[in-house]
Structure formats: structure tokens, C-alpha cells
Structure 1
């Protein structure tokens, strides 16, 4: 799979089902204030101690799992950090789900009858 298509698959998977959550939880500090490039300490100052911290399995780095709560509803939310400890992704899914999306995006495409154009 070429890189632009891979990036598109990851973006679409990360965004699927997020429009409702982003509206409901947009005022939550983790959603509203955490930005790409922030450090782990900055994220914890905003969101507190995560429920769990895990090493990323597809791309080197770390991932924080949080549970957002509003009006009795709970929603998974993750903040993912690159190998330098800087935020490079956040989404309304668990770290395990985000890892699965990344893994799927890296798997070779097994489409039949593409003609093997080689480009």
C-alpha cells in the first residue's frame, strides 16, 4: 500500500464514529487542550494520571488510555506519543484499538486483479 493511501486509511479509521464524540466531549480538557507536540508531563497536567500506559506495538512510542465521563456516559480516549515522548495522535478509542488500526494500515493489500502495475 502506498504511503498516501496508508495515511488516508489511518485517518479515516481514526475518524470513524468520532463526530458525535467530538461534539459531546469537546469541552473535556484532554479533547480541548491537548495538542500535537506536547510532552507527557503537559498531557498529565491537563488530564491527570491515565488509566493505563502502554508501549505502542506498531510504531515506537507510548500511549495513554483515558476514560472521559459526561452525564453518566463513559468514552474511551487515547493520547499517543512518538519515540521522543511528544503527542502525535489522539482519538476516541483505546490504545489497543489505535494499535490495531495502525497494524491494519501497514498490512499489504491483497486485492485481486490489480494487474500488478508496480507503482
Structure 2
């Protein structure tokens, strides 16, 4: 299998895990109230000071890392901001994990699967 298929499977696995996380943590203020287009101040008014703020590595912008706690369990959560400082992504992973996922999705496949044809 080529890297593109592995990347797709990894992304789909992460997305399916997010559905469960969203259900468990749906009432957490960051999950329930943060919306695309909000600025950093609005996000901090909802979720408080992040654990860390990092520069994004793939697309210009910054990213806040948070740790959600529900029923004694902890779950990373990030809020990512575009170059204008507006929310453009949130997810149940760290900023570093999101950056790696973005990087992998932008990498060109090194081969097309071997035997030619359409790949099916």
C-alpha cells in the first residue's frame, strides 16, 4: 500500500475517534461554544489560558493546546487560528498532532502503488 492510503486510513481513524470524544466532551465549554471565526480573546474567555500556544508549521497561524477533563479522564484538545488570528480548526488532538496530520496530507505520494492502472 502506498503512503496516501495509510494517511487516509489514519485520518479516518482519527475522525472516527473524534466522534466518540465529541459525545463525551460535548458539554465542555471549548467544545460547545468555540466556533470558526472567533478570535483568541473570545476563545480564552470561554476556555481560559491554554496550556501552550505554538506557531503552526504548515500553514501560517497559531495553535492553543488545552487538556479537557471529564469523569476523571483527560483528553487533549486544540484550537487552531489562521494568519488573521481567527479560529479555523478544532480537534481532539494536540497542536503537534494536528501539524503532523496537515503535513502528511500535503506530502505527495512517493509512488502510485506499483502496477499502474487506476490503482483499483
Q: Tell me the TM-score range normalised by the shorter chain.
A: 0.7 to 0.9
Distance 2:60 2:14 in 1: 18
> In the TM superposition, what are the counterparts of 1:21-36 in structure 2 within 5 Å?
21-36=21-36
> In the TM superposition, what are the counterparts of 1:1-119 in structure 2 within 5 Å?
9=8, 12=12, 15-110=15-110, 111-113=112-114, 115=116
Q: Give, in angstroms, the shift of residue 45 of structure 1.
A: 0.3
- The Cα RMSD (Å) is 2.2
Distance 1:11 1:88 in 2: 18
Give ranges in structure 1 of 5+ residues lacking alignment.
none
TM-score, length-normalised on structure 1?
A: 0.84
Q: Give, in angstroms, the shift of residue 16 of structure 1.
A: 3.5
Give ranges in structure 2 of 5+ residues lacking alignment.
none
Measured at CA, do residues 13 and 58 of structure 1 come closer, stay the same or move farther in structure 2, by a change above 3 Å?
Answer: farther
TM-score, length-normalised on structure 2?
A: 0.83
Measured at CA, do residues 116 and 61 of structure 1 come closer, stay the same or move farther in structure 2, by a change above 3 Å?
Answer: farther
Distance 1:113 1:79 in 2: 39
- 2:37–2:88 Cα contact (<8 Å) kept: yes
Q: Deviations over 1:39-91 (max 9, x none)?
A: 00000000000000000001000000000001110000000000000000000
Q: Give, in angstroms, the shift of residue 116 of structure 1.
A: 8.9
Q: How many residues align?
A: 110
Q: Give, in angstroms, the shift of residue 20 of structure 1.
A: 1.1
